[in-house]
Amino acid sequence: MPKLRSGEFDQYQYEQNYIKKNIKLVHMSLNRTKEEDMQILDWLSQKDSISAYLKSLIRKDMEGKT
C-alpha cells in the first residue's frame, strides 16, 4: 500500500496504481465539422452511459466472430 512520508495511507497514489494495473483507456476522436461525426455526437449525447453501450457492442461482436 502506498504511504505518505507521514506514514498515512496515500489514496491518490493507490488509485493511480490501480488504474495503471487494471484499466485500459482507449481514445477516439470525432470531428465537429463533419456531418457524419456530428450525427454520432448528437446520438451519443442522448445516451446515459456511452462506455457501457460500447462494451456491450464489442461483446456482441466478439460472440459473433468466435
Euclidean distance between CA atoms 45 and 51, whole angstroms: 12
Residue 2 has what pLDDT?
66
Residue 38 has what pLDDT?
92
How much is the average pLDDT of 20-32?
A: 88
Mean pLDDT, the chain, rounded, equals: 84
How much is the average pLDDT of 35-49?
A: 86
Between 18-22, 48-52, 54-58, the lowest mean confidence (pLDDT) is in: 48-52
Q: Which three cell numbers stand for residue 52?
A: 457501457
- Dump the DSSP string for 23-46: ---------TTSHHHHHHHHHHHT
